[in-house]
Amino acid sequence: MHLPEFIRQHADRIVDEWEEFARTITPAAENMDRTALRDHAKEILLAAARDMSKPQTASEQLAKAKGEGPEKTPSLDEAGASHGELRHTVGFDLVQMTSEFRHLRACVIRLWVDSLESPDLAYFQDMIRFNEAIDEALAESTAAYAEQMSRSRDIFLAILGHDLRAPLQAMSMSTELLMRKTTLEGDALACANNIKRSARHMAVMVSDLLELVRCRLGKSLPIEPKPMDLADAAHAAIAEACAGNPECDPTVRVEGDTRGVWDAGRLGQLLQNLIGNALQHGLDKRDVTVTLHGEPDTVRLTVHNYGTPISANAIGTIFDPLVRSADEELGQPSTSLGLGLFIVKEVVDAHAGTIDVSSNETDGTLFTVVLPRNSL
């Protein structure tokens, strides 16, 4: 008996063994009933049998082995994806979920081989096709599980960031009120300034966290472009970055017309992150240069500083979320969540612009942003 027919005739017996194995996966399976334990197992088996019954050329088989095609089986993909989502919901981890497919594969092959009276070359082809079908279901199930896990994490981060805003705002406003209504001197004044500065820094980190979640859940950063001057935004960003720090004095150079239609709030984020990054990692807070150059259809922004160069390996991932610099990884005090440059890239992409970075010990580090004048 060929394997597809064997699966169709013995599906219930195979699913019984699936259920028995799934029941051993604790603690997730402890409170699951029979229906939940058998989730989509029969659908996956029968879809695999249908897939195996379809004609397949040698070239199609080779392509499928590489994960390149031919066309997938919709019912198999849907059953696999649904199983992955539900297993995540009931508390299975990824290793536990994939172990179900390993057991399913071993169970089917064992029962089928035991039923064979004599080997046949065609049976080996059945085994190959069955493995392909299970691999397809496993891939879809794993992808759906991972997506569900990522979405759950992002929703948690969104709730966390949102709930942190209120106490931070209360802390900041209370400190501001204390400094206005009370005459503070010496250590008391220094402590109040530290609290105010730390609350403002934490507010920026929470805002960055929410932007990350918004990008992941919404796929793109929303913008509201309006006429503005990038030079004015740059001066405002420098004033914000250097507030309360007399040693901070970046150079600003403006060449040509720097007006355009952009989202002022988003470009403020971009500038604050790039300038703050240069001030943090530069050798001298006075040796940071911000240059704006107006061109016929675009405005070019560069932020330059001298300091320890960014390694070639780090440049490849510098705009990825939650990536920190090497000195932070070696135990230095962390000043961010590693989201600043990720947000910069998202802002640039939302305005249909480009961003590049170059860094070496001789020339320093240079971030170059090119924005079209009209991003509508």
What is the pLDDT at residue 116?
Answer: 81
Residues 339 and 241 occupy one common structural domain = yes
What is the pLDDT at residue 16?
Answer: 92
Residue 185 buriedness (CB in 10 A; 0-12 / 13-18 / 19+): exposed
Query: Is pLDDT at 216 greater than 70 in this prediction?
Result: no
Choose one of 165, 195, 218: the last residue of a domain.
Answer: 218
CATH code at 143?
Answer: 1.10.490.10
Residues 244 and 210 occupy one common structural domain = no
pTM: 0.53
Residues 123 and 242 occupy one common structural domain = no
Instruction: Pick the range with the lowest mean pLDDT from 29-33, 173-177, 218-222, 237-241.
Output: 218-222
Residues 205 and 284 occupy one common structural domain = no
Residues 146 and 179 occupy one common structural domain = no
Residue with the larger pLDDT of the pair 196 and 58: 196
Residue 343: other Cβ atoms inside 10 A: 22
**Distance (Å, whole) CA 2 – CA 73:** 20
- Find the Cα–Cα–Cα–Cα dihedral 281, 285, 287, 290, rounded to 10°: 80
pLDDT digits (tens, 9 = 90+) for 76-103: 888 888 888 888 878 888 888 888 888 8
Q: Could you check whether the bond before residue 222 is cis, i.e. omega within 30 degrees of 0?
A: no
**Distance (Å, whole) CA 289 – CA 305:** 7
Domain range for residue 105?
Answer: 3-153
371 within 8 A of 301, measured Cβ to Cβ: yes
Give the confidence band of 333 by pLDDT, cuts at 50, 70, 90.
Answer: very low
How much is the average pLDDT of 49-55?
84
Residues 117 and 202 occupy one common structural domain = no
What is the pLDDT at residue 330?
Answer: 36
What is the pLDDT at residue 376?
Answer: 61
Residues 129 and 159 occupy one common structural domain = no
Residues 196 and 296 occupy one common structural domain = no
Query: Is pLDDT at 249 greater than 60 in this prediction?
Result: yes
Instruction: Pick the range with the lowest mean pLDDT from 25-29, 108-112, 159-163, 247-251.
Output: 159-163
Instruction: Pick the range with the lowest mean pLDDT from 15-24, 46-55, 271-280, 321-330.
Output: 321-330
Give the confidence band of 329 by pLDDT, cuts at 50, 70, 90.
Answer: very low
DSSP-based three-state secondary structure for 18: helix
Instruction: For residue 304, give the H/E element and its range.
Output: strand 298-305
- Tokens matching residue 146: 């991972």
CATH code at 268?
Answer: 3.30.565.10
How much is the average pLDDT of 125-131?
78
Choose one of 120, 153, 186: the last residue of a domain.
Answer: 153
Contacting residues for 269 by C-beta, under 8 A, at least 6 apart: 211, 343, 344, 347
Closest to 124 in 3D by CA, of 138, 113, 135: 113
**Distance (Å, whole) CA 297 – CA 371:** 9
Q: Per mean pLDDT, which of 38-52, 71-85, 241-255, 287-301 is the most reliable?
A: 287-301
124 within 8 A of 67, measured Cβ to Cβ: no
Query: Is pLDDT at 338 greater than 70 in this prediction?
Result: no
**Distance (Å, whole) CA 372 – CA 369:** 10
How much is the average pLDDT of 209-233?
79
How much is the average pLDDT of 130-141?
80
Residues 8 and 149 occupy one common structural domain = yes
Closest to 306 in 3D by CA, of 365, 258, 256, 257: 365
124-128, long-range: CB within 8 Å, 24+ apart, which pairs? 126/2, 126/3, 126/4, 126/52, 127/3, 128/61
Query: Is pLDDT at 231 greater than 50 in this prediction?
Result: yes
- Tokens matching residue 141: 């199930």
- Tokens matching residue 211: 């932007």
Query: Is pLDDT at 159 greater than 70 in this prediction?
Result: no
Average pLDDT value over all residues in the chain: 81
Residues 171 and 149 occupy one common structural domain = no
Contacting residues for 270 by C-beta, under 8 A, at least 6 apart: 343, 344, 347, 348, 369
How much is the average pLDDT of 215-224?
70
- Find the Cα–Cα–Cα–Cα dihedral 66, 67, 73, 78, rounded to 10°: 150
How much is the average pLDDT of 240-259?
83
Domain count for the chain: 3
Query: Is pLDDT at 345 greater than 80 in this prediction?
Result: yes
What is the pLDDT at residue 70?
Answer: 52
Residues 182 and 76 occupy one common structural domain = no
Residues 269 and 317 occupy one common structural domain = yes
pLDDT digits (tens, 9 = 90+) for 273-320: 899 888 888 777 668 899 999 999 999 999 999 888 888 878 877 887
Torsion 9-12-18-21 (CA) sign: negative
